[in-house]
Chains A and B, each alone.
Chain A
C-alpha cells in the first residue's frame, strides 16, 4: 500500500482542510491570544520596556509568532483526538489505504492552519506599526524557521492527540509551550534577569529562535545563532517524531 501514500494523504488532507474552512473559529481562537498579548505589550507595558529596538512591536513580534504556533498546535491535538474518539480513525485504519497517511494528513493540516494564523498575526502587527526592511531571502528564511518550528511542535502535539483520555488532556500540553517565550528574550532583553533565570532564558530554544528571526527582520547578521536555532528545531522535530511514531505504532497494532 506504500504506493498510495501520497494520494491517500492528499485526500485526507483535503478532508481536514475542509474542517478548517468550515470552523474558521479555530483560526480566530488561535490568533486572538497572541494578538491580545501583542496589544497589551505594545500599548501597556511596552512604553516602560527598554530594548535595543526603536519600535517595541518590531522587537516582540518574533516571540508573538512562536506563541501563535504554540497555541495553534492545541487544535492539532484536538483534531486528532476527535478522530480517535469518533471512530473515523478506526474506519480509516480498517480500510485498504496507506495507514500512515492518516497521521501525515493531520500533520500537514496543522502546518497549513498555523501558517494561516501566522499570516493573520503578521497583518495585525503591520497595522500596529510593525515594519521590516527585510528582503525576500530574509522573509523566506523566517518562513523556513517557522515551518520547522511548527513541524517540531506539531509532532509533539501528535502524542497527546493519540493518547489523551479527554479533550482537556489533549490540549493542556500546549500551556507550558505558550509560557516558554516569557522566559526568553522574546519580550525583554535577558540582561536584566537574575542569574539562574537568565541562564535558563539564554539557553532555552525560544531565545535563539527569537533572536534569529529578529535579526532577519532587521537585516542584522544572524551570526552563529541561526545554527543554534536550527539545531533546536531539527532536534525537537526528530525526537518528537520518533516518540509520536512509536506511540502511533502501538496504537494501531
Chain B
C-alpha cells in the first residue's frame, strides 16, 4: 500500500543551503535517512532545524543543494513529495473550532480516503481520544492537542513523517505519551524524522542522531557511535538519587490518561456525525 519508491534512502539531503537576507541558516547540510526507524536532528534553538524541515516538506525553497524525499525532488516534484509525507509542525496545527473528530474527518476527506468517518474513529481509539472526539479542540489539554495533531498526520499512512519539536511545551506525562506514539509509528515501518533540542529525547527515541550546529551537520551516527567519540566510560560508584521527574511521575502515575479524569464532561463522540 505504501508508495515506497525503489529501495533508496527515505530522505537524501546534499549541500543544502538557505539564508534569510544576510543570515546564513543552513551552510551546506548533508545527510541521508534510511527507510524505517527514527532519525533525530538535534540542535539548539536557532540551529536551523525548523528551516530544514520546512524545506524537506516543500514549504520553503532552498537556495542551493538537492533534497530528495521518498525518491522525489522537493524542488521539481513537490506534489509527489507532499503525497509521501506528513508534517507535524512545531505548534499543534489543529483547527480549534472544529471537534477532534471533525479535524480527522477533514484531513481524511482531503486525502480522498474511503470512509473518512471510520478512519477518524479508529485514530481516536488508537490515541485514547474517543471520549474527547466530539468536543471542540479548544477545550483540549496540551497533550491531547498534540495527540490529535499527530493523529492527523498519520491519516493516509504516509511513508515518511516529519515531527518538528513534537514535545516542546508539553508536561512530562504528555511527553511520554508522545514518545510512545513515535515508537509505535516506527515499529509499523514509518520513517520518522524528528527534530528536538532535548538530548534525552534523542537518546530515548532515535536510531540515528545528527547534530545540527551553526548551519552544518557536525556529527551523524547511532547513539553507540556517538558515545565512542568521548573518552571511554569509567566505573564510579555513586549514590543514585531519584530525579524530580521520577518523583513527579511516581506520584501522579506515568501511564494515567490524566485528561480523562481532568475533564468531567460527558462523552459526546457520537453527537457530531
Contacts and interface: CB of A to CB of B under 8 A. Distances in A.
Interface of A: 1, 4, 7-8, 11-12, 15, 18-19, 22-23, 86-88, 90-97, 252-253
Nearest to A87: B93
Nearest to A85: B91
Nearest to A7: B112
Given A15-B106, A95-B107, A95-B111, A88 B94 contact: yes
B97 A23 contact: yes
3 nearest interchain CB pairs? A87-B93, A91-B93, A96-B83
Contact of B110 (A11, A19, A22): A11
Interface stretch (B57-65, B169-177, B233-241, B253-261): B57-65
B109 A94 contact: no
From B91, B95, B96, residue with most partner A Cβ within 10 Å: B95
A86 B110 contact: no
Given A1-B79, A19-B97, A87 B92 contact: yes
Contacts of A19: 97
11 contacts: A8-B110, A11-B109, A15-B95, A22-B97, A91-B152, A93-B59, A94-B85, A95-B82, A95-B107, A253-B60, A253-B61
A63 B85 CA distance: 50
Given A8-B110, A11-B110, A94-B82, A86 B87 contact: no
Given A87-B93, A90-B59, A95-B107, 17 more contacts: A15-B95, A15-B106, A18-B98, A19-B97, A22-B97, A23-B97, A86-B94, A86-B96, A88-B93, A88-B95, A91-B152, A92-B110, A93-B58, A95-B86, A95-B111, A96-B79, A97-B110
